[in-house]
Every structure is written in structure tokens, then in C-alpha cells.
């Protein structure tokens, strides 16, 4: 079936390209801050391609167009791109070129590539610069051609900025600035330009609401040896926050003034810039006047290792959030087949439970609720137009989380709604075995996620099954549900960071099985890296679990499990009962006891 | 106790340093080819420090001297350095500086560092060059000061070079040269200078005997687009090999002519050089006339992935070698406590069994035979002066291997000689569980040893125990018992290579427990990487086992093991019996059946 809406937009756009002598136009998913999720204002790639996933880049040519996305979205992208004429490029699959390789292969001498330099990173822009030089072509980066044809483009968000209560921050702005400046000194930099929104929020102990589900404000920051400048949208700043920032000796500036500030202000000395996050446009501005030291943002590692106050808040928040998941499971199990439930209404039920929870601010991402084969799409989103009705058979996958004053949560469970196949049980059991083996893993300090990934993935690999994504990601504190630098992945990818897991780093642990057209399973717990025993062999590390929600025993095939897998599961369920039952009614408690029974 | 011999040498040497205005003199373990083991002629570091380990560097100053070595040798080095006044620096331990960091910290402006440039690599030399520049000092690299005071220095070996029978090579010299030149082209190099001895042996299908246990000849090679030059010592070349090389269109040159050749001959174009192996001296020569492309030797990866002919030879050789280990175990178990046996005589018994085996050429390394606490020293070597008598208690560790026409072997077993403690059994069982989990591991293509190490190490880490070395190393074919680029290690070390495990790569799998002053355990099997199933999730890989020798059931604590660990062990022992018993006498066969019994 032809997708006329997208085809027409492409046609219109290609006319513009021709008028501007552009041969290739590159559209990313990013906002001006390389945020993982961008607000609607920034969704040019979605507007032009129809693909709604959270990662993907579109390259438009005169006669062709290609969309690159990662393993989470292969199935979804195939569906959404149908009839658009856009080719899907599966990232990281063998023999699939990267965008840069594609351009290298297909760009002819003297051709022109255009893109909005605010939406690509310094590192990527520099690579393109090099490529263009080889091709003797032109790179146009101060352009936004999509804006011209996007008539109903949404406005840029500017929600009110607020300060986090000091008692839940663990560190003051002053203390954080001191730590950051120390790291700057180590790298011999006098200045730091920050454009990564969650890093800026963390540093100034503030939050905003300009990106769906991410409590961040559109902002920039410049830290010099003596001053700190924070750039916020005027409409986002109340008198209260203005005064509060003044007390922290932070100089407030207007968001759109960043370019002029970098051009004109008189800060001198070397500038630290994070090549993976700073935009190409800002880089070009800095390049004109300062020596640039390319390095990770010092804020990144500091933010990732949560302090004791943050961790204590998170423990409490995860208990409340786990109670939500328990209640959802009870409702689902008791009502399925009795009242009409759809993927949408199930998600809505979960979201409402969360909304009623004390301290709730927002969802941490749009709830994913996939029934049967829909769950095989890792980041499936049910819509009013397209969703399934649930019945008393097969499995339901629900991946959800909340933003609370005190922490960001993320949890996935997969439930049997009735009869399931033997294969589904085997897949489910292997996923649970892997999740619990990683959760109970013990390792020497110095290990990164690359060393540990096989603990979770091993039981599936033994069955000849893989999941096309990482096992875990870092998680923010009242911030983005995905944050770095830590992660749990096995594959070496160019440009990826590999850092040791440090005390206090919070990670998801979410192996899964995705059988296209049949079923999807994912179980996700969140865990904190902690110090274990220290002896002459070194500092051992292990994980503390934050998530306490039952794992559906109806899907467990005990015969597949090793002794320790059974022990892991029983011990986990014992903890679930001990931690969650005190918050429950008698009736709920009885139910919980049953679903957490020993096997 | 003072070590007068070493102290006197150091004193004498420091006088020479003073006369030559040298503030720091650096002595490595390497020969001129960065071989892992160097022939006696090259053992300057051992001569000057008394430390006999196979890895270690000595830095001598006016008032101080330091020796750097790795985890395998910490205990041994402490013993051997006692009374020499030399400080031990434990490589890769937290807060222990590297040699370069030490020099950076301690070298004063304008001071002089001297070393024999033939014994350090290009990469390391370049780093020192940079450091010296920072310090405004001098680097003297065309010097060999140890030679001056080493009166009884052994002569340089030059054993006869021989060609491997073509039917066991799998590829002709011509085919190999073609593959190498293809890789050179990919890297846009016209020439390749090889100084790594095993790479040269592999490329020309020859072997020598100039390094103990390594069937390599001192040699260099230069490959241009049209020619191949092989530099051998005159005394090592018979008329037969001369004619044979001529038939392969290889131009033969004299070993000591390499410097002149690089200075004077008229090969032009860019030169590929392996920074990790080419000597600093050769690099300086090349630098004067050619553009250098730094890259791994193309021979390395080609040599590491064994071809089907080599693999079939190895399978046969490992069966014969495993029979040797079985017979040793039978002899040991039946005779211990009845006749006097020492670490030396036990090793001798093993070596003799091997020597009597068809196709035997040499040991692949000096047999390590450690009883009780001696086994806690990973690379312990019993000597006439210092060795233990065995009795019917405790454990014996024996690590040994042979060079055969058809393969290089390496195997370690640990045996109970009588009563052992519960702790020893637990340690042994965890080692066996780890070894078998790795051996039975299944993983996606793209994994390196870093992803897999935890399979072997996990059971020990869970007990809070680590071994201070890698889990596995690559193994040569009728070549060095240690070869790269593949390995199984978890730790990221600067400059380490990380390559995916390719089909045909042979690896050791040797977890262990080393409790200083008490006991040491190591179990080592050799395995080949092979393709497993291929499906839409990718190409899965697994291992084929080459070693078939019983694991001492007297040391197994079944209660610790998971179902699959027991299954792994029973299946392994079933294979040992099936493969080895046909080569045995009836009496031996009965014995083997018993030691390979199901648990």
C-alpha cells in the first residue's frame, strides 16, 4: 500500500533540495542537545519518513531515501516505512553500511550534503567534514529545510523550571561545581560548554519539562574557572527559580543567546567539549576562538554514580513503584477474560496506578504494552488506530516506569493471560534465569558491562537465541530513563564507551526473546552496583536489586533450571513478599504470598 | 640474606653507567624479535637480577633498581629478588606505576636513559622518545652494556632449519605469500618487514631450534610486492633447505645483514610494520627511508586460524599427547607412597613418556611440576637445588606439553596424592566447573575472549577468589605454545589487542586457584573455535575440545555442582574413555574406565 502522505512530503522536499542545489539531505532524530528523546518540535525525521521510533536517521537523495535504525526497531520500521519508498538500513547488521560508508560509496565529486548542524554531534560533523573534503564537495550546516515545508510544526516547549528539594539531592550546586572544576583541571581545561540536558539539570539541581517523559529543560551551560552561566528559555523561568539560582551564584542567560555568548563573551583559555554530545554548530563557533579539548563531559561520570542520599530515595521510590506493578498484575490476572481489556486500556490501568502514587511527576517513558506478536517489537507502541484486544491466552509484555520526586523507575514484566506453548515457557524461563544470574553476579572491580553481558545472555545463546539490543542501560535520578556512560552490552561498536561499573551506578537488567510474528518476552529489574568483599584478590563488586515485582510462575519451566536458578528465583520472590506486602491490604497480601510461592 | 652475586654485578654495572653518563639503564627480557621466551644468549635481565621468570623488565639507577613483572610471577619474583636490593613492581596492580610512569615521575631534566634498542619494541621506543623529549634528556639505544660485564655469556644458537612436510602444512609458501600480500594491499603497503620468529616460520613453512621449546630460527623477513627475502644464520642453513627455499622463490640472506639490507637495498614504497613486535632499532632504520604504516602483522591472524589440515593433525597429536597424560596419572596414583618420587622425577617421568611418543620433537615448554604450596607459584620450576619430595597427601600440579610433527600441545592437571582438605576440593571443583562451562560455551560470532572470560572465572569470583592471569592463550601449530592475537582475559589493559574468536583459532582454557603458602590448582584443556548453528539471530560459535585426560574425581565435591556441571563432567569423561581407551592395554583400559566413571 502506498503511503501518499509521506511520498508527497518527500516530493515537495526534493523540489526544495533542487532549488538549493542539495544532493543529499540528512535528518537525524536529535534535538539540539543530542537528547535520546526529542520533543515534538524537533521530530523532523518522523515528519519526513513516518517512522516513529526513538532512534533513526534519514538520508534523502533525488531518487532515493534511506532510513537507518537499530535492532530494537527493525520490525517496527519495516511496518512504518511500507509504501513510502524509503529503504531500511539495519544498523550493525553484517554488510549493512553506516550512513557515512553509504555516503562515501554514493556521493560523487563536488556534490553537496546539507543538514541542520544543531542536530548532529561534533564527532559526526567532523567525520562528514573529512568525507566532504575527500569528495571535494560542500557541507551546508546552517540550514533547516524541513521547517520550510512543515506547516503545522508544533511550538518549542518551555515548561517551568524547578529546583529539586535540597534534602533529596545529596550534594549542593556548589559542591557539584567544585567536583566538575576539579575534573576540568585534570584535563587542563579552563572552560566547559555543556549542552547535554540531563547533565545540566544534574549539575544545577534543577528539573524542567521540555522533553516528553524526561524532566529536563532546554538549556545550555558554560562553566569557567570562576563563573557558571546557565542558559534557559525566558518563559521557563519563574521569579522563584531566578532568585534561587542567584543564591547559588549561577548567572542566568537566555537560551537563544548561547551562540552570541560563545562568539562574543570574554572567557579565555581552553574549552572542554564532549565530541559525542556537543552540536556541530556550537563546535564551529568555539573553534573560531578557543582551543578545544575533546573529552567526555566530566558531569557524566559524576552523575552516573549515585550518592547515598539519591540511592536511599531511589530505594523508597522503587518500593512504591513495585507496588504499582504488583497491583497491576493482580488486576490483570483477576480480570482477564472477564471484562474487555485492550493493550491501550491495560497500559492506561498501569499508568493510572502510577499517577496515584505519592511523589509521581510523570511517566519516565510512554508505556509499552504488547500482546502476543506485538510484544516481539521491542519498542512497540499501541495506538488508537492499531492495538490488540486481550483474551485469556498468550502473553502480555508491559514495560513502563515513572518519574517521581526521588527517582526514575523502569520495569518490564511479561504475564501469561491463559494457555501458552511449551516454547514460550522455555523462552520465558531462560530469560528469567539470565536476568537473575546477572543480578546475582559477583565480579572484580574493573569489569565493564561487556564482561558481564553473557551472564544474562548465556541461557539464550545456549538455545541459539539472541536479542538484538543491549542487556542493560544506565538510569537517571529524577532524570532520563536512559543515561550513560555505563551499560551492559557484549558487542564492540565503534565509538562506544566502555567504563568500569562504579559503586552507585544504576543499571537495568533486561534480557528478552523476540520471535517476530509470534511472541515477545522481556523481564527487567533495576539494580545498583555496590562494593562486595575486599580481599587480597581485589575489590569484588555485586548488585543490589531495586525492583520487587513478582515473576509470573505460570510461565516457569522448572525442569530447565539449575539449582542456583531456582534458589535465585525463590530468594527474589521472598524479598518481593517481605518488601511489598507491608504496603498491601490483607487481600492483596494473600494474593502476593501465592504468586511469590517457593518453587 | 644478601645476594652477593647479584649485588656485585649491579655494582660493576653502575660503574659502567657512570663512565657512560647513563642515569637509567633499562633491560628487558626480550631477544631481538620480541619472542616470549628468549634463548640464554639474550637473558641479560636474568643475569643482572637473578629473576628467572619469562616476563620482567629491570630498570637500574645509581642508587636504586626496580623489576617489573606480572601476576604469574609475584611470589617467585619476591623469592628470587630477596637480598638483591631490587624492588619488585607488581604490574597491573592498583597504584603500581608502569615503567614509563615511573620514569616520568623520577627522571630529572637532562638525564640519560640507555637501552639496547633491539630488545624493545617500536611502540615502546616511541613512547620513550616522547618522554625523553619532555624531559629534555637523551635516549641511547645503540648500546649493550651488559655484554661488557657478562664474561661467560652463552653463544647465540643456530640450530639447523628444516621444512615442514608439505602434507601437514595445508597451504604452500606461495599460497601464504599471496594471502599476506592481499592483506598488505588492503593496508596500502608495498612492503612488510617481519621480525616475529613464529610468523616467519609459519609463512615459509620452516622450523628451527634457536629458542628453548619454540621450534623457531633466529630470522627476519622482508616481503615486497614481487620478492620475498628470508634472513637466516649461515650455520643454520643446510644445502637441502637452501635448495628448497630456492624452489619456493625465496631469496636467502644472512641474518646479520638485515640492518644493511634495510639501509641499502632498493625496495621502495610504504612499509607495514607491527609496532608491538618490530624492534626500535629496525624502526629507526626504516624511518630514514620509507613511510611506515603501523599495523598488526598480517601473518598473525592468518597463522592463528588453523586450516583444516593443521586441525586434523592437531586432533591426532592431542590424542597421543592425552594418552601420555593418562599414563602419567595411572603411574602417579599407583606409585605414590610406594616408591620415592620428587617434583623433578615426576616431571621427568612425564617428559619421558612424551619423548617416547611418535612424532615427538621437543617439549613445548619446561614442564611445571609443583607439589603442595609450590603449585601456588603459577610458573614454578623445580630445580636440583630446590624441589619437594612427594608423599601420599596434598595435591600435585603438572603443566606440560610437547612439540610434535603435527602440533603443539599444552595441558595441566592437578591430582590428589592422598588426603586433601575440604577447601582444596571446593577450589578444585570450582576450577573444573569454570573450565567446563567455558569449554561448553556457545556464543555469537563477534565475541572476543573478554566476553567469555567470566564463564570460566565466574565460579571462583562467586567464592571471592581470582587468579591473576588470563584464562586462555592462543596456541601455535608446531610453533610457540603461546601465540596471539586471540586470548581469553577479562581485564582491559592498555595496548592489548581484542579480536573476535574466529573459526579455527586454538585456545587454552585454564582457570586456577593459587593460595600462597598452601596449594595451587590449575586444569587446562585446549580447544578449537568452531562454527555452531547459523540462524536469523546470527552465526553462533562454540568450541571443540582437543585434550582428553581424566579430571581427578577424588578432588570433586559434587554437592557444589549444578546439574549441567555434572553433565559437562560426565560427558567429558565419556569422551576421554571413548577416544583414549582404544590406544591402551587392557589393564590401562580398566583403570581408565574407573577414573572416568559417571558421578
Q: Are residues A465 and A394 in the same domain?
A: yes
What cell numbers appear for A407 in the block? Answer: 527517582
Please state which of the ranges A307-316, A380-389, A526-535 shows the lowest mean pLDDT: A380-389
Work out the pLDDT band at A378, boundaries 50, 70, 90: confident
The residue in chain A having the minimum alpha-carbon distance to the alpha carbon of residue B490 is A451
pLDDT at B496 over 80: no
DSSP-derived 3-state class of residue A382: coil
Q: Are residues A419 and A532 in the same domain?
A: yes
Contacts (Cβ under 8 Å, ≥6 apart) of A78 = A88
Residue B157 in domain:
no
Work out the pLDDT band at B499, boundaries 50, 70, 90: very high
Question: For A577-594, how does the pLDDT look when each residue is reduced to its tens digit (9 = 90+)?
Answer: 999 999 999 999 999 999
* Least Cα separation, residue B562 to chain A (angstroms): 6
Please state which of the ranges A340-354, B64-78, B219-233 shows the lowest mean pLDDT: B64-78
CB count within 10 Å of CB A374 equals 21
State yes or no: cis peptide before B334, omega within 30 of 0.
no
Instruction: Name which of A451, A540, A562 is nearest B464 (Cβ-Cβ).
Output: A540
Residue B131 in domain:
yes
Contacts (Cβ under 8 Å, ≥6 apart) of A243 = none
The enclosing domain of A382 has a CATH number of: 3.90.230.10
What mean pLDDT is predicted for residues B112-128?
A: 95
Q: Are residues A18 and A76 in the same domain?
A: yes
Task: Give yes or no for a contact between B273 and B220, defined as CB atoms under 8 angstroms apart.
Answer: no
Task: Give yes or no for a contact between A242 and A253, defined as CB atoms under 8 angstroms apart.
Answer: no
Q: What is the model's pLDDT at position A54?
A: 83
Q: Which residues of A touch B498 (CB under 8 A)?
A: 492
Question: For A284-300, how does the pLDDT look when each residue is reduced to its tens digit (9 = 90+)?
Answer: 999 888 899 999 999 99
pLDDT at B123 over 80: yes
Judge: A464–B540 Cβ closer than 8 Å, yes or no: yes
Q: What is the model's pLDDT at position A495?
A: 63
Residue A337 in domain:
yes
ipTM: 0.89
Q: What is the model's pLDDT at position B379?
A: 77
Question: For A135-162, how does the pLDDT look when each residue is reduced to its tens digit (9 = 90+)?
Answer: 999 999 999 999 999 999 999 999 999 9
Judge: B537–A464 Cβ closer than 8 Å, yes or no: yes
Contacts (Cβ under 8 Å, ≥6 apart) of A290 = A191, A268, A269, A270, A271
Instruction: Name which of B462, B490, B535 is nearest A442 (Cβ-Cβ).
Output: B462
Instruction: Name which of A452, A490, A537 is nearest B465 (Cβ-Cβ).
Output: A537
What cell numbers appear for A119 in the block? Answer: 542536530
Q: Are residues B299 and B309 in the same domain?
A: no
Instruction: Name which of A455, A461, A540 is nearest B444 (Cβ-Cβ).
Output: A461
What mean pLDDT is predicted for residues B52-71?
A: 94
Q: Which residues of B touch A454 (CB under 8 A)?
A: 441, 443, 447, 451-452, 454-455
Cα A234 to Cα A161, A216, B320, distances in angstroms: 10, 15, 81
Task: Give yes or no for a contact between B581 and B559, defined as CB atoms under 8 angstroms apart.
Answer: no
CB count within 10 Å of CB B7 equals 15
Residue B155 in domain:
no
Q: Are residues A423 and A501 in the same domain?
A: yes
Reference B456, options B516, B418, B507, B503; nearest CA is B507
Chosen domain end from A128, A149, A170: A149
The enclosing domain of A88 has a CATH number of: 3.40.350.10
Question: For B262-299, how does the pLDDT look when each residue is reduced to its tens digit (9 = 90+)?
Answer: 988 888 899 999 998 999 999 999 988 889 999 999 99
Residue B463 in domain:
yes
* Least Cα separation, residue A425 to chain B (angstroms): 20
pLDDT at A499 over 80: yes
What mean pLDDT is predicted for residues B182-186?
A: 96
The residue in chain A having the minimum alpha-carbon distance to the alpha carbon of residue B559 is A563
Q: Which residues of A touch B449 (CB under 8 A)?
A: none
Strand partners, A228: A223
State yes or no: cis peptide before B485, omega within 30 of 0.
yes
Reference A223, options A196, A205, A250, A246; nearest CA is A250
More confident residue, A317 or B290: A317
- Find the largest Cα–Cα distance for chain B: 75
CB count within 10 Å of CB B143 equals 15
Q: What are phi and psi of B212, to 5 degrees?
A: -50, 125
> Residue A364: CA atoms inside 13 Å, Cβ hemisphere, count?
28
Question: For A549-569, how does the pLDDT look when each residue is reduced to its tens digit (9 = 90+)?
Answer: 999 999 999 999 999 999 999
Q: What is the model's pLDDT at position B288?
A: 86
Tell me the whole-structure pTM to 2 decimals: 0.90
Judge: B540–A461 Cβ closer than 8 Å, yes or no: yes
pLDDT at A457 over 80: yes
Looking at the 3D structure of chain A, how many domains does it have?
A: 3
Q: What are phi and psi of A508, to 5 degrees?
A: -85, 160
> Residue A41: CA atoms inside 13 Å, Cβ hemisphere, count?
13
Reference A424, options A433, A415, A435; nearest CA is A415
Question: For A33-65, how does the pLDDT look when each residue is reduced to its tens digit (9 = 90+)?
Answer: 988 888 899 999 999 999 998 889 999 999 999
Question: For A298-311, how does the pLDDT look when each residue is reduced to its tens digit (9 = 90+)?
Answer: 999 999 999 999 99
Rounded Cα–Cα distance for residues A259 and B60 (Å): 56
Q: How many residues does chain A have?
A: 599
Instruction: Name which of B444, B491, B563 is nearest A563 (Cβ-Cβ).
Output: B563
Alpha carbon B266 to its chain centroid, in Å, reads 36
Cα B139–Cα B143–Cα B147 angle in degrees, nearest 5 = 140
Q: What is the model's pLDDT at position A498?
A: 87
Q: How many residues does chain B have?
A: 599
Helix (H) or strand (E) holding B334: helix B308-335
Residue B361 in domain:
yes
Judge: B492–A462 Cβ closer than 8 Å, yes or no: no
Contacts (Cβ under 8 Å, ≥6 apart) of B404 = B317, B320, B321, B357, B359, B360, B361, B478
- Find the largest Cα–Cα distance for chain A: 75
Mean residue pLDDT of chain B comes to 95
Q: Which residues of B touch A444 (CB under 8 A)?
A: 461, 466, 490
The fraction of chain A above a pLDDT of 70, given in percent, is: 99
Reference A201, options A175, A181, A220; nearest CA is A220
Rounded Cα–Cα distance for residues B317 and A566 (Å): 42
The residue in chain A having the minimum alpha-carbon distance to the alpha carbon of residue B563 is A562
Q: Are residues B218 and B276 in the same domain?
A: yes
Rounded Cα–Cα distance for residues B64 and B102 (Å): 12
pLDDT at A496 over 90: no
Question: For B139-154, how does the pLDDT look when each residue is reduced to its tens digit (9 = 90+)?
Answer: 999 999 999 999 999 9
Chosen domain end from B303, B328, B349: B303
Q: Which residues of B touch A447 (CB under 8 A)?
A: 454, 490
Q: Which of A451, A535, A562 to mutate to test the interface with B (most CBs of B within 10 A)?
A: A451
Task: Give yes or no for a contact between A573 and A597, defined as CB atoms under 8 angstroms apart.
Answer: yes
Q: Are residues B387 and B489 in the same domain?
A: yes
Judge: A455–B453 Cβ closer than 8 Å, yes or no: no
The residue in chain B having the minimum alpha-carbon distance to the alpha carbon of residue A534 is B464
The residue in chain B having the minimum alpha-carbon distance to the alpha carbon of residue A493 is B446
Residue B156 in domain:
no
What mean pLDDT is predicted for residues A180-202?
A: 96
Work out the pLDDT band at B81, boundaries 50, 70, 90: very high
Q: What is the model's pLDDT at position A494?
A: 65
Q: What is the model's pLDDT at position A290?
A: 86
Question: For A69-117, how does the pLDDT look when each residue is reduced to its tens digit (9 = 90+)?
Answer: 998 889 889 999 999 999 999 998 888 999 999 999 999 999 999 999 9
H, E, C per residue of A73-109: HHHHHHHHHCCCCCEEEECCCCCCCCHHHHHHHHCCC
φ/ψ bin of A505: left (φ > 0), alpha (ψ from -120 to 50), beta (otherwise) = beta
Chosen domain end from A236, A269, A303: A303
Judge: A466–B538 Cβ closer than 8 Å, yes or no: yes
Question: For B289-346, how does the pLDDT look when each residue is reduced to its tens digit (9 = 90+)?
Answer: 889 999 999 999 999 999 999 999 999 999 999 999 999 999 999 999 999 999 999 9
Work out the pLDDT band at B1, boundaries 50, 70, 90: confident
H, E, C per residue of A229-285: EEEECHHHCCHHHHHHHHHCCCEEEEHHHHHHHHHHCCCCCCEEECCCCCEHHHHHH
Q: What is the model's pLDDT at position A452?
A: 98
Reference A361, options A208, A501, A473; nearest CA is A208
Q: Are residues A361 and A333 in the same domain?
A: yes
* Least Cα separation, residue A495 to chain B (angstroms): 15
Q: Which residues of B touch A443 (CB under 8 A)?
A: 454, 461
H, E, C per residue of B382-406: CCCCCCCECCCECEEEEEECEEECC
Q: What is the model's pLDDT at position A476?
A: 98
Rounded Cα–Cα distance for residues A583 and A573 (Å): 16
Q: Are residues B224 and B327 in the same domain?
A: no
Reference B499, options B296, B262, B294; nearest CA is B296
Rg (CA), chain A: 24
Q: Are residues B258 and B365 in the same domain?
A: no
Task: Give yes or no for a contact between B116 and B126, defined as CB atoms under 8 angstroms apart.
Answer: no
Instruction: Name which of A450, A461, A466 is nearest B450 (Cβ-Cβ).
Output: A450
Q: What is the model's pLDDT at position A28?
A: 94
Alpha carbon B331 to its chain centroid, in Å, reads 29
Q: What is the model's pLDDT at position B289?
A: 84
The fraction of chain B above a pLDDT of 90, given in percent, is: 90
Task: Give yes or no for a contact between A473 and A507, defined as CB atoms under 8 angstroms apart.
Answer: yes
Q: What is the model's pLDDT at position B380?
A: 85
The residue in chain B having the minimum alpha-carbon distance to the alpha carbon of residue A93 is B538
Q: Are residues A342 and A478 in the same domain?
A: yes
Instruction: Name which of B454, B466, B535 is nearest A454 (Cβ-Cβ).
Output: B454
Rounded Cα–Cα distance for residues B273 and B294 (Å): 5
Q: Are residues A297 and A340 in the same domain?
A: no
Please state which of the ranges B169-173, B239-243, B259-263 shows the lowest mean pLDDT: B259-263
Instruction: Tell me the DSSP string of B479-496.
Output: S-SSEEEEEE--S--TT-
Residue A484 in domain:
yes
| Virtual torsion, Cα A203, A206, A209, A214, nearest 10 deg | 40
Structural domain that includes position B236: 162-303
Amino acid at each position: 500500500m502506498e503511503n501518499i502522505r509521506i511520498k508527497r512530503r518527500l516530493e515537495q522536499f526534493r523540489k526544495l533540495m533542487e532549488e538549493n542545489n542539495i544532493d543529499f539531505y540528512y535528518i537525524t532524530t536529535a534535538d539540539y542537545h543530542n537528547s535520546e528523546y526529542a520533543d515534538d518540535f524537533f521530530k523532523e525525521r518522523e515528519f519526513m519518513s513516518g517512522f516513529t521510533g526513538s532512534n533513526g536517521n534519514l538520508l534523502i537523495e533525488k531518487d532515493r531515501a534511506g532510513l537507518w535504525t537499530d535492532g530494537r526497531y527493525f520490525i517496527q520500521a519495516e511496518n512504518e516505512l511500507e509504501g513510502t519508498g524509503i529503504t531500511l538500513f539495519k544498523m550493525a547488521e553484517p554488510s549493512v553500511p553506516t550512513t557515512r560508508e553509504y555516503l562515501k560509496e554514493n556521493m560523487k565529486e563536488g556534490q553537496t550534503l546539507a543538514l541542520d548542524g544543531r542536530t548532529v554531534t561534533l564527532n559526526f560533523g567532523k567525520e562528514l567534514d573529512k568525507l566532504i573534503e575527500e569528495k571535494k564537495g560542500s557541507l551546508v550546516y546552517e540550514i533547516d529545510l524541513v521547517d520550510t515545508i512543515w506547516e503545522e510544526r508544533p511550538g518549542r516547549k518551555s515548561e517551568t523550571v524547578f529546583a529539586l528539594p535540597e534534602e533529596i539531592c545529596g550534594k549542593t550546586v556548589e559542591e557539584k561545581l567544585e567536583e566538575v572544576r576539579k575534573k576540568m583541571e585534570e584535563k587542563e581545561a579552563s572552560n566547559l560548554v555543556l549542552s547535554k540536558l540531563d547533565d545540566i539539570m544534574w549539575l544545577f539541581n534543577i528539573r524542567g519539562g521540555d522533553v516528553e517523559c524526561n524532566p529536563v529543560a532546554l538549556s545550555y551551560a558554560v562553566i569557567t574557572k570562576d563563573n557558571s552561566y546557565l542558559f534557559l528559555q525566558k518563559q521557563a523561568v519563574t521569579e522563584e527559580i531566578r532568585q534561587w539560582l542567584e543564591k547559588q551564584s549561577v548567572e542566568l542567560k537566555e537560551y537563544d543567546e548561547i551562540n552570541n555568548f560563545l562568539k562574543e563573551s570574554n572567557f579565555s583559555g581552553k574549552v572542554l567539549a564532549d565530541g559525542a554530545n556537543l552540536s556541530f554548530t556550537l563546535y564551529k563557533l568555539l573553534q573560531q576562538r578557543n582551543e578545544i579539548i575533546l573529552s567526555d563531559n566530566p558531569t557524566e561520570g559524576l552523575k552516573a554514580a549515585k550518592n547515598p542520599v539519591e540511592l536511599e530515595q531511589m530505594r523508597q521510590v522503587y518500593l512504591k513503584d513495585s507496588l504499582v506493578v504488583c497491583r497491576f498484575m493482580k488486576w490483570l490476572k483477576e480480570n482477564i477474560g472477564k471484562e474487555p481489556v485492550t493493550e491501550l486500556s491495560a497500559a492506561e490501568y498501569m499508568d493510572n496506578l502510577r499517577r496515584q502514587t505519592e511523589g509521581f511527576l510523570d511517566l519516565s517513558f510512554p508505556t509499552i504494552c504488547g500482546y502476543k506478536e506485538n510484544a516481539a517489537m521491542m519498542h512497540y507502541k499501541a495506538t488508537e488506530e492499531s492495538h490488540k484486544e486481550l483474551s485469556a491466552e498468550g502473553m502480555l509484555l508491559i514495560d513502563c516506569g515513572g518519574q517521581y520526586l526521588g527517582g526514575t523507575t523502569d520495569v518490564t514484566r511479561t504475564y501469561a493471560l491463559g494457555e501458552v506453548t511449551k516454547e514460550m515457557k522455555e523462552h520465558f524461563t531462560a530469560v528469567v534465569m539470565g536476568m537473575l544470574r546477572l543480578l546475582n553476579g559477583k565480579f572484580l572491580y574493573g569489569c565493564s558491562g561487556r564482561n558481564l553481558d553473557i551472564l544474562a545472555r548465556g541461557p539464550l545463546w545456549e538455545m541459539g537465541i539472541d536479542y538484538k539490543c543491549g542487556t542493560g542501560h544506565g538510569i537517571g535520578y529524577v532524570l532520563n530513563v536512559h543515561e550513560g556512560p555505563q551499560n551492559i552490552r557484549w558487542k564492540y561498536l565503534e565509538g562506544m564507551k566502555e567504563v568500569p561499573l562504579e559503586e552507585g551506578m544504576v543499571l537495568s537488567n533486561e534480557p528478552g526473546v523476540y520471535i517476530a510474528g509470534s511472541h515477545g518476552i522481556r523481564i527487567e529489574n533495576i539494580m545498583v552496583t555496590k562494593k562486595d568483599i575486599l580481599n587480597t584478590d581485589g575489590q569484588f563488586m555485586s548488585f543490589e536489586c531495586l525492583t520487587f515485582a513478582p515473576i509470573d510462575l505460570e510461565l516457569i519451566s522448572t525442569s530447565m533450571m539449575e539449582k542456583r536458578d531456582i534458589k535465585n528465583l525463590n530468594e527474589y520472590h521472598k524479598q518481593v513478599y517481605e518488601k511489598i506486602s507491608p504496603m498491601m491490604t490483607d487481600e492483596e497480601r494473600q494474593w502476593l504470598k501465592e504468586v511469590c510461592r517457593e518453587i
